[in-house]
Structure 1
Amino acid sequence: MNSSKRIATYTIFTIFIASALVLNSCAPQSKYKAPNLDVPDHFRGQDTLNIAQDSTTIADIPWREFFEDEQLIDLIDKGLAHNFDMLTAIKNLDIANQRAKQAKVEWLPSLDLALGSVNYQFRSKNYYGSPSSSYYNHKGEEAPENMFVNSVQYGSGLSFSWELDIWGKIKSKNKVALADYLKTAEATKAVQTRLIASIAEGYYNLLLLDAQMEVAQTNYDLTKNTLKIVELQRDAGQITSLAIQQTKNQMLVAKALIPSLKQQIANQENALSLLTGQLPTDIQRETKLAEANTNEILATSVPLHMLSMRPDVKSAELNLQAKNALVGVAQASRYPSLSIDLTGGLNSVLTRNWFDIPGSLFGGIIAKATNPIFNKRKLKTNFEVAKIDREKAEIDLQRTVYTAITEVTDALMNLKTVDEQIEIAAEQVTTSRLGVKQSNLLFNSGYATYIEVINAQKNLLDSELNLNKFRQAKLISRINLYKTLGGGWK
């Protein structure tokens, strides 16, 4: 190639690159804009709870500070380290991280090295061939009648290929990969939040069952003593055998609770063992239900602040960002693409000349611009579908936000009503205990019947069981509020 031809080639190449840079500066981009969601200033019922609306919420509290029971914290630690769903979520995050790393270097060129290639082409005598592919024989002999080696090539070389991202297609793909990675990270946080809430609920359910067992055992012992007194009065001829039967029946009601509660305790311990990634085993606990509590901070702030905490809301918005970037990919695919291909290396038809330099050297450069003209409407369809998917993602984000607000509202209302229920149930227990005490005194003095004693003991059993359920319900309500506000992943 003479100097004038080389100058012309370099000029064309320079113009090609300059055009690509100019086109890149005016490339169409599908820029993300956060949707304007219609959210209220505060949760329904929040004002009735006299909750402080500031920048700090219950969800800001790390889970180690939210829970105050060391044995529960130990269970949660085991769950985070060994729970199967948590381990799977972490692996999914690792996969997303690898894909995000690959997307970051998508704009770089490709470089391939062929260490050694041998190309034999076998033909028959009547095969049509051009002079460049005719039978290679340095003696000028005729081609054999049957299959023969028509041509041979021995080569080694480098190939370089680079597509210029003039329309931002690769940039948009990078945004998709990044959004997918962050979305997977939020999904991992959501798994952790649900896991911590499930472990805490299971633990507090164990405390409830322990408390119910204590109530059942105490009531059983109480009715046994009453039965002894009734038997003495029957022997003295003061009452009939019917009193024995009814008193014994009340005693068996309390007694029947004990094996049922034992079974429930074992089942709950097995469920907690599975949650923490262990084989079925005993769950250590020393705290009583009445002593259990969580961090008392109740500030919930406004829904807009909540959106920055809940993993599912974050994930929905990241999904919208990914769908928006895919619109950019589909849009850029409709425009011309510019690419540069470079090849170079060694090539020979004889083995002995394979590495003969410079005789076996070859090289080439191709700069090309391609533009799709007619592709059965596939590109336009992909672009329109990408826009519709983006609209669907926006709808999903709004549904997720509204669902989150509804869940927080429900948790707030449950927390409010459970306090009222505990207050009423505690008063019932106090009244029932007084009733049992008075009925026993009157019964021993002959001023009350055994029926009144039995009814008083039954009322005490029911009221104590109900009080324990409401105490557990308050703990569960606080856990639900903590979870619905996006806490538990710190």
Structure 2
Amino acid sequence: MYKFKINRYVIPLGLCLAVTGCKIPQIIPVAQNKAVPGSYGFGTATLNSSAVEWHSFFTDKNLVNLIDTALKNNQELQITLQELEIAKNEVQIKKGALLPTVGIRAGAGLEKVGRYTSQGAGDASTEIAPGKETPDPLGDFTIGAYANWEVDIWKKLRTAKKAALTRYLSTVEGKNFLLTNLIAEVANSYYELQALDNQLAIVKENIGLQKSAMDIVKVQKEAARTTELAVQKFQAEVFKSQSLEFELMQKIRETENRINLLLGRYPQEIIRDKTGFLSLSPVIVHTGIPSQLLANRPDVKQAELDLAAAKLDVKVARAEFYPSFDISAGLGFQAFKPSYLFRTPESLLYSIAGDLAAPLINRNAIKAEFKSANARQLQAMYNYERTILNAYLEVSTGLSSISNLEKNYDLKTKQVDALNKSIEASNDLFRSARADYFEVLMTQRDALEAKLELIETKKDQLTAVTHVYRDLGGGWK
């Protein structure tokens, strides 16, 4: 007889599970493509500058101090650190879902039922002691413990916890990626500030040369060797250079404030070396091989972890098609009168129940969530492939930039040397009336532009090296 009763419940339950199980969609396997070219086209040495710590890579003490301050005070970095805490707490939340929920409950109540009801008639016939009826109205006093637990049969909760842990590790890599960009941004802004300082010094020097030439023109005008047109042309050129001087001063202030923002502080002067900028030699960067990007670039590792988490999300969404098994239990004391509350076994209360539930009809919401999880998995895969491609192209572009800027700087240095000599020659010729004022003006203008471009090229050289160091994954270790 007992066997018949068990089969009466188990067989329908098995049929329900079979119906639900036969329509569960399969997970589409997604393979991540890690293939990268064997080299950047500039050699295949395994030595990699990303292993060099940032305070060793940058040798300027003022710059090192600025970066150190930025790593301590930058608000964006502090926000990212709080995101790390949020991700860590999410792991604890998912971990807690695996354990039973246990709580304590206490309550008191009062109930008055109708006398001519089934409950009222039953209460009147109950005697706790000879000659004493159940009190009316009826009290209800309870104290006890309760527990609820979802048994993780299909590893849904464990997979969700693993996905949360993977996302926490992804957030860590996001923080590391922010570190590399922050260090590079401070360094590039510092080099830009130094370049502006040197450009300003050259403009001021050029204004002095232009005024000297204008004085010569005025003397020649008085001697009737030239006209007012030449005087006004030189005067206009002086005004133009003075205007450029104020433009550079404004750019210096903007760059200083940008650095102060990165350092998380209010405007103040940026301590730096304003001399010897053109004599700075860019650091030699060793790129290693492209496959090292997978381990060194934080954004690549972050994209890989995001893809792993998305795959786990698909498994969690698929587990929703399976039945869930919940267990609930309670233990405590209940009585209608406080003095009876702890009289055992009469006031003892306990319960235990199991609940097995599976989606059978109208599973559209579960199907939609599963499809969305698959779509997010594909998004993560494409993002991972794009991140690897972008990392390779950034390094390749940076290496090409370093090579071309080196050649460009050498040619511009020769151009500036030639124009400096031409300024001396034009001034001598102009004093002896063998050259007109226009030749002097154009020579000075060309020399000024060439000197400013030379400084700009030096800044681009230093910036390109910093970019390659960042693109290789340097700075966060």
Whether 1:92 aligns to 2:92 is: no
Does the CA-based 8 Å contact 2:28-2:374 persist in structure 1? no
Pick from 400, 414, 427 the counterpart of residue 427 of structure 1: 414
Q: Per the alignment, in what secondary structure is the counterpart of residue 384 of structure 1? A: helix
Q: How much does 1:177 deviate?
A: 0.8
Whether 1:486 aligns to 2:473 is: yes
Residue aligning to 2:16: none
Residue aligning to 1:36: 33
State the Cα deviation string for residues 27-53 of structure 1 (Å, max 9, x = none). x9989986234422223xx33xxx453
Change in CA separation of 1:294 and 1:79 when aligned onto 2, cut-off 3 Å: farther
Q: How much does 1:468 deviate?
A: 0.7
Which shifted more, 480-489 or 276-285?
A: 480-489
The separation in 2 between residues aligned to 1:165 and 1:131, in whole angstroms, is 46
Change in CA separation of 1:287 and 1:346 when aligned onto 2, cut-off 3 Å: same
Does the CA-based 8 Å contact 1:35-1:394 persist in structure 2? yes
1:150-161 equivalences under 5 Å are 151-161=138-148
Residue aligning to 1:79: 70
Residue aligning to 1:273: 260
Change in CA separation of 1:135 and 1:69 when aligned onto 2, cut-off 3 Å: farther
Change in CA separation of 1:192 and 1:242 when aligned onto 2, cut-off 3 Å: same
Change in CA separation of 1:262 and 1:443 when aligned onto 2, cut-off 3 Å: same
What residue identity is the alignment partner of 1:336?
P
Q: How much does 1:349 deviate?
A: 1.7
Change in CA separation of 1:358 and 1:127 when aligned onto 2, cut-off 3 Å: closer
Q: How much does 1:136 deviate?
A: 8.2
Kindly report the root-mean-square deviation, in angstroms, between the aligned alpha carbons of the 2 structures.
2.9
Change in CA separation of 1:91 and 1:31 when aligned onto 2, cut-off 3 Å: farther
Change in CA separation of 1:360 and 1:205 when aligned onto 2, cut-off 3 Å: same
Change in CA separation of 1:133 and 1:214 when aligned onto 2, cut-off 3 Å: farther
Q: How much does 1:86 deviate?
A: 1.0
The separation in 2 between residues aligned to 1:169 and 1:358, in whole angstroms, is 40
Q: Per the alignment, in what secondary structure is the counterpart of residue 162 of structure 1? A: strand
Q: How much does 1:318 deviate?
A: 1.0
The separation in 2 between residues aligned to 1:104 and 1:87, in whole angstroms, is 26
Residue aligning to 1:53: 45
Does the CA-based 8 Å contact 2:296-2:474 persist in structure 1? yes
What residue identity is the alignment partner of 1:280?
P
- Gaps of at least 5 residues in structure 2 are 3-24
Q: Report the number of matched residues.
A: 451
Residue aligning to 2:7: none
The separation in 1 between residues aligned to 2:158 and 2:98, in whole angstroms, is 8
Q: How much does 1:100 deviate?
A: 1.8
State the Cα deviation string for residues 208-254 of structure 1 (Å, max 9, x = none). 11011011011111111112222222222322222222222222222
What residue identity is the alignment partner of 2:324?
S
Change in CA separation of 1:402 and 1:37 when aligned onto 2, cut-off 3 Å: same
Pick from 180, 185, 191 the counterpart of residue 167 of structure 2: 180
Pick from 124, 145, 153 the counterpart of residue 166 of structure 1: 153
Q: How much does 1:68 deviate?
A: 1.4
Change in CA separation of 1:61 and 1:130 when aligned onto 2, cut-off 3 Å: farther
Change in CA separation of 1:131 and 1:199 when aligned onto 2, cut-off 3 Å: farther
Change in CA separation of 1:167 and 1:413 when aligned onto 2, cut-off 3 Å: same
Residue aligning to 1:290: 278
What residue identity is the alignment partner of 2:109?
N
Does the CA-based 8 Å contact 2:113-2:120 persist in structure 1? no
Change in CA separation of 1:357 and 1:140 when aligned onto 2, cut-off 3 Å: closer
Pick from 80, 100, 110 the counterpart of residue 120 of structure 1: 110
Residue aligning to 2:11: none
Pick from 219, 224, 229 the counterpart of residue 237 of structure 1: 224
Q: Per the alignment, in what secondary structure is the counterpart of residue 308 of structure 1? A: helix
Residue aligning to 1:20: none
Which shifted more, 340-349 or 425-434?
A: 340-349
Which shifted more, 391-400 or 403-412?
A: 403-412
Which shifted more, 477-486 or 462-471?
A: 477-486
Q: Per the alignment, in what secondary structure is the counterpart of residue 307 of structure 1? A: helix
Residue aligning to 1:11: none
Residue aligning to 2:357: 370
Pick from 292, 306, 322 the counterpart of residue 309 of structure 2: 322
Change in CA separation of 1:358 and 1:222 when aligned onto 2, cut-off 3 Å: same
The separation in 1 between residues aligned to 2:126 and 2:60, in whole angstroms, is 87
The separation in 2 between residues aligned to 1:433 and 1:393, in whole angstroms, is 57
State the Cα deviation string for residues 180-214 of structure 1 (Å, max 9, x = none). 10111112122222222221221111111101101
Q: How much does 1:172 deviate?
A: 0.3
What residue identity is the alignment partner of 1:361?
L
Residue aligning to 1:387: 374
Does the CA-based 8 Å contact 1:30-1:325 persist in structure 2? no
The TM-score, its normalising length taken from structure 2, stands at 0.86
Does the CA-based 8 Å contact 1:186-1:312 persist in structure 2? yes
Q: How much does 1:65 deviate?
A: 1.5
Change in CA separation of 1:32 and 1:104 when aligned onto 2, cut-off 3 Å: farther
What residue identity is the alignment partner of 1:41?
G
The separation in 1 between residues aligned to 2:121 and 2:90, in whole angstroms, is 49
Residue aligning to 1:211: 198
Does the CA-based 8 Å contact 2:55-2:64 persist in structure 1? yes
What residue identity is the alignment partner of 2:466?
I
- Gaps of at least 5 residues in structure 1 are 6-27
Q: How much does 1:367 deviate?
A: 3.8
The separation in 2 between residues aligned to 1:472 and 1:180, in whole angstroms, is 39
Q: How much does 1:342 deviate?
A: 2.8
The separation in 2 between residues aligned to 1:443 and 1:342, in whole angstroms, is 105
Does the CA-based 8 Å contact 1:67-1:294 persist in structure 2? no
Whether 1:251 aligns to 2:238 is: yes
Q: How much does 1:470 deviate?
A: 0.7
Q: Per the alignment, in what secondary structure is the counterpart of residue 295 of structure 2? A: coil
The separation in 1 between residues aligned to 2:262 and 2:225, in whole angstroms, is 58
Residue aligning to 1:361: 348
- Percent sequence identity over matched residues? 29
Does the CA-based 8 Å contact 1:68-1:295 persist in structure 2? no
Q: How much does 1:66 deviate?
A: 1.7
Does the CA-based 8 Å contact 1:31-1:324 persist in structure 2? no
Which shifted more, 269-278 or 398-407?
A: 398-407
The separation in 1 between residues aligned to 2:287 and 2:112, in whole angstroms, is 79
Residue aligning to 1:411: 398
Change in CA separation of 1:425 and 1:127 when aligned onto 2, cut-off 3 Å: farther
